[in-house]
């Protein structure tokens, strides 16, 4: 459907509130949203009972804030220009904070739907109620880490880095709608089922029906949802740190010459903004940072390549966990290809085939070739996936080519093709700037930073 037509018909979206009910094994939170003149939406969450006191003002603020992120998945169907928040007060500074998250977090959505808008025009947020600040209690004593684990190589490397500190007894893992690979990696890392916090999130199926009818659809900032939910889990379970696994490469735009970034809510800009929001508006003592922020995606791949016990259980493919598929490598998407590409300098072709069943670098598919060209920067945009920077992908491929030629091996099809591209000519003689790379601009507590550096220095190049 046409964006301009939709915003002229549907002009108001309302966040009415939420209902919390206690069930036998969880607390159920049902959100109440409405696109006026179109439909209501009632997504829900089921939360483990650990630490929940319904009247706790910190808990209430987290539940409200999760709804503020959740609403964007339903607002985007018609993009009403006014959002009314009826269930809580937001200051002007908070409204500006949320608009920034929505605007940049929807950058890919605007781009792929051809929507021409800006920060001022795309939305107006109003909170009709009078200011009524919550009386927050003093922050309690917190300790240990809450570690979001998704089953991919990045969170595995974070689990590994933390294990080298020798002090993981109070740590817990966080998994929203967890997949088998996430649970398996946590168990391999030594975490018991009782130390894994597992909320469930349920979309309202009405949004799926609207998408079928042609209402607008696209990417939303899911990592912001995880930020609030994991921080709530940390508070409820008495953990001090929420430890993300976002690397410096997440800061790079997905579309050349723009600020459209598929990974905006994994960027350092969002990390700083979110940490500041917690401190100012939900001051429960929880601290939020990414343990891998000083590293590049290539360094993370180098560390992961040495963690062979995880090679058969990790999964990073989104398409392989959608529809009728569950927790597999689809072997037909840009994310699968990227993971193979970034690991290719550190694994042999046989090792790659052992993990993925096939070596995607040997693919003769035009579709894979197109993804390959996007990933090395031959097109306007990278694939809209969580992938590394163009510079490090090219350096990885040059290193992979060099090592195979040194071993006297025949290059797989896509690597052979790569040697004929202008990207190879540009990058093949570049020095290795990644071996000693460490971005000092991060939020990592000093007592943990040394372990990140030590793991990075242990990479075998």
Residues with Cβ < 8 Å from 153, sequence gap 6 or more? 300, 301, 304, 310, 314, 316, 339
> For the chain, which residues make up each domain, given as ranges?
3-132+141-148+180-290, 303-437
Q: Give the pLDDT of residue 128.
A: 85
Report the C-alpha gap between 55 and 278 in whole angstroms: 19
Q: Are 292 and 154 in contact (CB under 8 A)?
A: yes
Q: Give the pLDDT of residue 130.
A: 65
Q: Give the pLDDT of residue 129.
A: 72
Q: Give the pLDDT of residue 121.
A: 95
Please state the pTM of the whole predicted model. Answer: 0.96
Residues with Cβ < 8 Å from 281, sequence gap 6 or more? 61, 94
Q: Are 38 and 44 in contact (CB under 8 A)?
A: no
Tell me the pLDDT of the chain (461 aa) as tens digits: 999 999 999 999 999 999 999 999 999 999 999 999 999 999 999 999 999 999 999 999 999 999 999 999 999 999 999 999 999 899 999 999 999 999 999 999 999 999 999 999 999 999 987 676 678 988 889 999 999 999 999 999 999 999 999 877 899 999 999 889 999 999 999 999 999 999 999 999 999 999 999 999 999 999 999 999 999 999 999 999 999 999 999 999 999 999 999 999 999 999 999 999 999 999 999 999 999 999 999 999 999 999 999 999 999 998 887 765 678 999 999 999 999 999 999 999 999 999 999 999 999 999 999 999 999 999 999 999 999 999 999 999 999 999 999 999 999 999 999 999 999 999 999 999 999 999 999 999 999 999 999 999 988 88
Buried/exposed 245-269: b ≥16 CB within 10 Å, e otherwise:
bbbbbbbbbbbeeeebbbbbbbbbe
Buried/exposed 291-327: b ≥16 CB within 10 Å, e otherwise:
bbbbbbbbbbbbbbbebeebbebbbbbebbbeeeeeb
- Residue whose C-alpha is closest to residue 185's, from 313, 336, 306: 313
Q: Give the pLDDT of residue 324.
A: 57
Report the C-alpha gap between 144 and 225 in whole angstroms: 22
**Alpha-carbon radius of gyration of the chain:** 22
Q: Give the pLDDT of residue 168.
A: 78
């Amino acid at each position: 459907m046409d964006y301009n037509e939709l915003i002229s018909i549907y002009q108001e979206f309302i966040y009415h509130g939420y209902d919390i009910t206690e069930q036998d094994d969880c607390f159920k939170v049902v959100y109440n949203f409405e696109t006026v003149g179109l439909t209501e939406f009632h997504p829900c969450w089921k939360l483990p009972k650990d630490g929940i006191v319904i009247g706790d003002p910190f808990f209430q603020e987290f539940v409200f804030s999760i709804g503020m992120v959740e609403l964007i998945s339903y607002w985007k169907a018609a993009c009403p220009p006014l959002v009314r928040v009826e269930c809580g007060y937001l200051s002007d500074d908070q409204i500006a904070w949320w608009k920034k998250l929505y605007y940049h977090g929807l950058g890919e959505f605007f781009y792929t739907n051809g929507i021409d808008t800006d920060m001022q025009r795309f939305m107006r947020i109003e909170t009709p109620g009078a200011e009524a600040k919550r009386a927050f209690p003093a922050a309690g004593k917190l300790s240990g880490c809450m570690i979001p684990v998704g089953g991919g190589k990045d969170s595995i490397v974070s689990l590994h880095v933390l294990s080298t500190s020798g002090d993981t007894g109070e740590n817990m893992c966080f998994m929203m709608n967890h997949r088998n690979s996430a649970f398996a990696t946590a168990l391999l890392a030594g975490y018991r089922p009782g130390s894994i916090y597992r909320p469930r999130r349920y979309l309202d199926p009405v949004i799926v029906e609207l998408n079928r009818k042609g209402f607008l659809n696209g990417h939303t900032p899911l990592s912001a949802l995880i930020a609030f939910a994991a921080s709530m889990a940390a508070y409820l379970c008495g953990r001090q740190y929420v430890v993300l696994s976002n690397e410096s490469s997440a800061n790079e735009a997905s579309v050349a010459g723009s600020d459209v970034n598929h990974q905006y809510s994994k960027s350092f800009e969002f990390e700083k903004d979110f940490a500041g929001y917690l401190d100012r508006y939900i001051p429960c003592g929880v601290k939020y940072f990414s343990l891998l922020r000083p590293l590049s995606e290539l360094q993370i791949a180098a560390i992961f390549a040495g963690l062979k016990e995880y090679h058969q259980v990790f999964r990073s493919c989104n398409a392989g966990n959608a529809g009728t598929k569950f927790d597999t490598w689809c072997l037909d998407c840009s994310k699968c290809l990227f993971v193979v590409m970034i690991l290719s300098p550190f694994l042999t072709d046989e090792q790659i085939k052992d993990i993925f069943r096939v070596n995607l670098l040997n693919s003769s598919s035009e579709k894979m070739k197109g993804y390959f060209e996007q990933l090395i920067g031959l097109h306007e945009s990278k694939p809209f996936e969580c992938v590394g920077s163009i510079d490090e992908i090219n350096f990885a491929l040059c290193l992979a080519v060099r090592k195979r030629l040194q071993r006297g091996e025949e290059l797989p099809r896509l690597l052979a093709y790569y040697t004929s591209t202008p990207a190879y000519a540009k990058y093949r003689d570049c020095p290795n700037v990644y071996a000693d790379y460490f971005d000092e601009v991060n939020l990592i507590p000093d007592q943990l930073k040394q372990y990140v550096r030590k793991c990075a220095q242990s990479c075998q190049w």
